[in-house]
Amino acid sequence: MKKIAMLLLAATALTACSDEVGTESWCTKMRDKPKTEWTTDNALDFAQHCVLQDGVGSEQWCKGLKEKPKGEWTANEATSYTKHCIF
C-alpha cells in the first residue's frame, strides 16, 4: 500500500509543473496557442480530448473511465483518474 501511495505522489509531483494533456486548462492553452506552433502530436491530442471527447478530468470522462474495467486502464489513465476524479 505504501508503494502505491508513493507512486501516486511521485506521479502527481512530476506532472504538477505542466498541464496534463487533455485537461480543460491544456485545451484552453492550446486554443490560445498559434496553430503554427502545434506539433502533430499536439493536434492529434487536441482533436481527441478537446473536440471529439470530453476532456481528461471532466465529469463525463471520469464516469466513462469508471465504467471501463480497471484491467484495461493505461498507467496514464490510472494516474489521471486518481488526480482528477478522486482528489
DSSP string, the chain: -HHHHHHHHHHHHHHTTSPPTTSHHHHHHHHHS-GGG--HHHHHHHIIIIIISPPTTSHHHHHHHHHS-GGG--HHHHHHHIIIII-
pLDDT higher than threshold 70 for residue 6: no
Domain that holds residue 46: 2-86
Per-residue pLDDT tens digits for 22-74: 788 888 999 999 999 999 999 988 888 788 776 777 888 888 888 999 999 99
pLDDT higher than threshold 80 for residue 9: no
CB atoms within 10 A of CB 12: 13
pLDDT higher than threshold 60 for residue 8: no
Whole-number pLDDT of residue 33? 93
Whole-number pLDDT of residue 23? 83
Whole-number pLDDT of residue 38? 93
User: In total, how many domains does the chain have?
Assistant: 1
Whole-number pLDDT of residue 37? 93
